[in-house]
C-alpha cells in the first residue's frame, strides 16, 4: 500500500446503485447461497460440490476473472496417515494490460470448509454466507471494472505508469477449521500453505512487487457473518483507516435507507472512535494469520462476541438473518467499488424496491 493516493468516497448516486443479492441469497434455492449450505469437510464430496459451484459461477457469469487453484495436502490429527487434500480457490481480475507483478490487489477472503466434528455441521455463518457475499461482490463490480479499464485504454491512461495498477481478487480458502483441537498445526491448512507458497513465488525482475504476497494492498477477511445484530470491532491500528472507510460506507448506506437492517439494531461497524492506545495485542486467530506474519495489512471482519450458534449444529441456513447477510454484501460491494474507484461507473438498477421494503414484505 503506497498510502499516497487521495481518498475519494463514492457519491450518494453510486451508493444508491449498489445492488442487493435478493433471491440469490434464498437458503433453499438461491443461486449463490443455497448450493454452499451443505457439509464441506476437506476431501469429501460436499467439498468438491462447492468448489464446482464457485468455479462454474465464475466461468459462466464472470469470464474475465482468472481462476487459480492452490492445492496442498496434509495429515490431520483426526485422520492418521491419510493425506487430506486442501484446495484454495483464487478468482482474480487485473487491468488487462498490466503485468501480474505490477498490480496491487484488494484481496477479499473467506473460508469454505466446515468442521469435521460435529458430523453434518453446515457452517452457514462459518463461512457459507461470507463466501456467497464475496460472489455477489464480484458480479456487482464486474461491469464497472470493464468500463473503467475500457475508458482508460481509450484515453491513453492505460499502463502510463503514472498510477499504481489496481486489481481485485477473491480467495475462497480451504482447511481453516481444526479437525481435533485448534493449534498451530491443526488449523489454517489452506491459508498456511498458500501464504508460504506465495512468499516463495517471484515476480519477474523490475516488477512493482516482488511476489504475490507483497502485491496484496489489503487483506479483508470475512468470517462468522450472517447472524443478527453483529458488532465488529476494529482489531488492528495499522488498518484502522480502512475500517473507518468501511464504517463510513455502512453509515451512509443506512442514511440512504437502503440497508435491510436499518432501524432494527445497532451499527455493525461501531468502533470508529478507537484511539491508538486502545488497540490491544489480542486478536481472533483466523486465516489472516499466515499473511499477517508476512507483513500483509489485514482488515478482519469478524464479530465480537461470536454469534451464539458458532460451532454448533444450530449454525444452519434457517438461523441466518438474511437482511443482515444482504447488508453485509452491500457494504462489501460498496467498499470494493470505492477502493477500485468505480464512482459513476456502476450500472443503474432497474426499479429497486428498497432492501428495507423487501425485508418488511417477507415478514
Ligand atoms: C473462526 C471460525 N474460527 C473458526 N471458525 C477461528 C477461531 C479460532 C475461533 C480459535 C475461535 C478460536
Ligand atoms: Zn469455524
Dist CA 31 CA 21 (whole Å): 10
Return the ligand 1 atom nearest residue 285 CA. Answer: 8
Ligand 1 pocket test target in 227, 235, 284 with most atoms within 8 Å of CB: 284
**182 CB less than 6 Å from ligand 1?**
yes
Which residue's CA is the closest to the ligand 1 atom numbered 4?
Answer: 177
Question: How far does residue 176's CA lie from ligand 1's centre (Å)?
Answer: 8
223 lines ligand 1 (CB under 6 A): yes
What is the atom index within ligand 1 of the atom nearest the CA of 127? 2
Q: How far, in Å, from the CA of 287 to the mean position of ligand 1?
A: 9
Q: Cβ distance 229 to 13 under 8 Å?
A: no
Is the CB of residue 286 below 6 angstroms from any atom belonging to ligand 1? yes
Catalytic residue selected from 126, 174, 177, 223: 223
**Which pairing describes strands 165-173 and 84-93: parallel, antiparallel, or unpaired?**
antiparallel
Pocket test for ligand 1, best of 285, 289, 301 (most atoms within 8 A of CB): 285
Fold entry, domain 12-358: Aminopeptidase (3.40.630)
3-class SS at 240?
helix
The CB of 165 under 6 Å from ligand 1? The reply is: no
Ligand 1 atom closest to residue 311's alpha carbon, by position in its atom list:
5
Distance 117 CA to ligand 1 centre (A): 14
* Per-residue cell: 70: 492452490
Q: Per residue of the chain (363 residues), give pLDDT as tens.
A: 444 456 699 999 999 999 999 999 999 999 999 999 999 999 999 999 999 999 999 999 999 999 999 999 999 999 999 999 999 999 999 999 999 999 999 999 999 999 999 999 999 999 999 999 999 999 999 999 999 999 999 998 888 877 789 999 999 999 999 999 999 999 999 999 999 999 999 999 999 999 999 999 999 999 999 999 999 999 999 999 999 999 999 999 999 999 999 888 789 999 999 999 999 987 799 999 999 999 999 999 999 999 999 999 999 999 999 999 999 999 999 999 999 999 999 999 875 555 555 555 444
Catalytic option among 176, 297, 321, 326: 176
- SS3 at position 108: strand
Q: Rounded CA gap, 32 and 230, in Å?
A: 22
Output the nine-digit C-alpha cell for 185.
Answer: 498445526
Q: How far is the CA of 134 from the centre of ligand 2 (A)?
A: 18
Residue 312, ligand 1, Cβ within 6 A: no
What residues contact 277, with CB distance under 8 A and at least 6 apart? Answer: none
User: Which cell is 354 given?
Assistant: 428498497
The Cα–Cα gap between 225 and 222 comes to 7
What are the φ and ψ backbone dihedral angles of 254, each rounded to 5 degrees?
Answer: -65, -45
Query: For position 157, what pLDDT does the model report?
Result: 86
Active site residue 223: yes
Q: Work out the number of other CB atoms within 10 angstroms of the CB of residue 38.
A: 19
Nearest atom in ligand 1 to the alpha carbon of residue 224 is: 2
- Residue 5 is predicted with a pLDDT of 56
Atom 1 in ligand 1: residue holding the nearest Cα: 286
User: Ligand 1 within 6 A of 224 CB?
Assistant: yes
Cα of first residue to Cα of last residue in the chain, in angstroms, is: 44
The domain ranges of the chain are 12-358
| Model pTM score | 0.95
Strands (E), the chain: 66-74, 84-93, 103-111, 165-173, 216-222, 298-301
For 324, list phi and psi in degrees, rounded to 5: -70, -40
CA separation for the pair 99, 114 (Å, rounded): 36
Backbone angles phi, psi at 91, to 5 degrees: -115, 125
Residues in a beta bridge with 216: 105
Amino acid at each position: 500500500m503506497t498510502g499516497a493516493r487521495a481518498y475519494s468516497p463514492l457519491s450518494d448516486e453510486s451508493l444508491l446503485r449498489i445492488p442487493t443479492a435478493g433471491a440469490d441469497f434464498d437458503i433453499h434455492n438461491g443461486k449463490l447461497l443455497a448450493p454452499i449450505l451443505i457439509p464441506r469437510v476437506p476431501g469429501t464430496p460436499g467439498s468438491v460440490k462447492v468448489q464446482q459451484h464457485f468455479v462454474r459461477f465464475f466461468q459462466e457469469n464472470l469470464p474475465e476473472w482468472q481462476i487459480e487453484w492452490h492445492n496442498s495436502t496434509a495429515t490431520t490429527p483426526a485422520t492418521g496417515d491419510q493425506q487430506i487434500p486442501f484446495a484454495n480457490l483464487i478468482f482474480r481480475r487485473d487491468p488487462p494490460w498490466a503485468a501480474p507483478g505490477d498490480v496491487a490487489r484488494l484481496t477479499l477472503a473467506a473460508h469454505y470448509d466446515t468442521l469435521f466434528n460435529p458430523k453434518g455441521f453446515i457452517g452457514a455463518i462459518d463461512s457459507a454466507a461470507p463466501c456467497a457475499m464475496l460472489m455477489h461482490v464480484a458480479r456487482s463490480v464486474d461491469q464497472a471494472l470493464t468500463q473503467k479499464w475500457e475508458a482508460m485504454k481509450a484515453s491513453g491512461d492505460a499502463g502510463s505508469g503514472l498510477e499504481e495498477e489496481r486489481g481485485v481478487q477473491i480467495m475462497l480458502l480451504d482447511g481453516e477449521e481444526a479437525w481435533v483441537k485448534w493449534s498451530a498445526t491443526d488449523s489454517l491448512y489452506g491459508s498456511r500453505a498458500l501464504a508460504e507458497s506465495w512468499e516463495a513465488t517471484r515476480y519477474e525482475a523490475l516488477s512493482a512487487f516482488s511476489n504475490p504476497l507483497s502485491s496484496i494492498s489489503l487483506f479483508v477477511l470475512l468470517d462468522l457473518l450472517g447472524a443478527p445484530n453483529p458488532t465488529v470491532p476494529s482489531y488492528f491500528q495499522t488498518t484502522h483507516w480502512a475500517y473507518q472507510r468501511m464504517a463510513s460506507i455502512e453509515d451512509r448506506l443506512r442514511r440512504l435507507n437502503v440497508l435491510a437492517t436499518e432501524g432494527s439494531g445497532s451499527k455493525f461497524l461501531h468502533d470508529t472512535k478507537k484511539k491508538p492506545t486502545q488497540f490491544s495485542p489480542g486478536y481472533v486467530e483466523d486465516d489472516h494469520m499466515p499473511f499477517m506474519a508476512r507483513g500483509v495489512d489485514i482488515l478482519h471482519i469478524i464479530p465480537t462476541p461470536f454469534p451464539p450458534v458458532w460451532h454448533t449444529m444450530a449454525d444452519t441456513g434457517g438461523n441466518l438473518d438474511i437482511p443482515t447477510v444482504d447488508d453485509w454484501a452491500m457494504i462489501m460491494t460498496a467498499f470494493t467499488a470505492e477502493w477500485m474507484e468505480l464512482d459513476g461507473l456502476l450500472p443503474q438498477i432497474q426499479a429497486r424496491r428498497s432492501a428495507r421494503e423487501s425485508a418488511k414484505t417477507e415478514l
